[in-house]
């Protein structure tokens, strides 16, 4: 099966992965979450060829995750910004960081803190009804008849 064909599956993981599971995409998005907006610094930082980065940015714009903005008119220059759909990938990025911090790096290279109190937040799978944090064992997954 082609990787592209994941976009047609009735599965949130497959469709999401058809977008962000492409090589480099999550690293490019990381640069935006760090406050970068322009082509050249991202290409330099990631050591990416122009054609690969052009391709990925176009895909992220087509998917509505980034939007192009004019920041100068003479000469005409464009940069890129996260849309609401893009901003919403922050939770996923933090999930990647938390797993990586725990399992694949020695000392966390980035520390996230709550601005207001200075304490470190963490992602929790939370049941609002019971006001408790859940683990995988607490969860039942119900698949729709047409789920992939």
Site residues for a second copy, window 66-105 (CB under 8 A)?
A: 85, 87-105
Candidates 70, 73, 76, 116: give the one binding a second copy (CB under 8 A): 116
**Which of 70, 102 has the CB closer to a second copy?**
102
**Which of 78, 95 has the CB closer to a second copy?**
95
Tell me the CA distances in angstroms from 72 to 54, 56, 69, 77, 127, one per residue in order.
19, 23, 9, 5, 47
Q: Is 94 exposed, middle or buried (0-12, 13-18, 19+ CB in 10 A)?
A: middle
**Which of 71, 148 has the CB closer to a second copy?**
148
**Per-residue binding letters, 47-66, with a second copy (x by CB under 8 A):** xx------------------
Neighbours of 91 (CB within 10 A): 10
Considering only the stretches 54-62, 68-76, 115-123, report the one whose residues sit in contact with a second copy under the rule CB under 8 A: 115-123
d(CA 6, CA 125): 26
- The string of DSSP letters for 87-106 reads HTTHHHHHHHHHHHHHHT-S
Candidates 46, 53, 59, 61: give the one binding a second copy (CB under 8 A): 46
- Is residue 143 close enough to count as binding a second copy by CB under 8 A? yes
Considering only CA atoms, which of 119, 125, 120 is closest in space to residue 141? 125
Shortest distance, position 79 Cβ to a second copy, whole Å:
19
């Amino acid at each position: 099966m082609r990787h592209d064909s994941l976009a047609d599956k009735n599965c949130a993981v497959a469709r999401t992965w058809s977008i962000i599971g492409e090589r480099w995409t999550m690293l490019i998005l990381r640069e935006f979450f760090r406050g970068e907006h322009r082509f050249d610094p991202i290409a330099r930082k990631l050591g990416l060829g122009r054609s690969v980065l052009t391709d990925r940015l176009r895909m992220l714009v087509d998917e509505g995750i980034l939007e192009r903005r004019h920041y100068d008119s003479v000469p005409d220059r464009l940069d890129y910004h996260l849309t609401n759909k893009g901003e919403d990938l922050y939770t996923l990025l933090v999930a990647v960081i938390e797993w990586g911090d725990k399992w694949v790096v020695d000392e966390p290279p980035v520390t996230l803190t709550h601005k207001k109190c200075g304490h470190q937040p963490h992602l929790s799978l939370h049941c609002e009804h019971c006001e408790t944090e859940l683990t995988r064992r607490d969860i039942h997954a119900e698949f729709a008849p047409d789920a992939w």
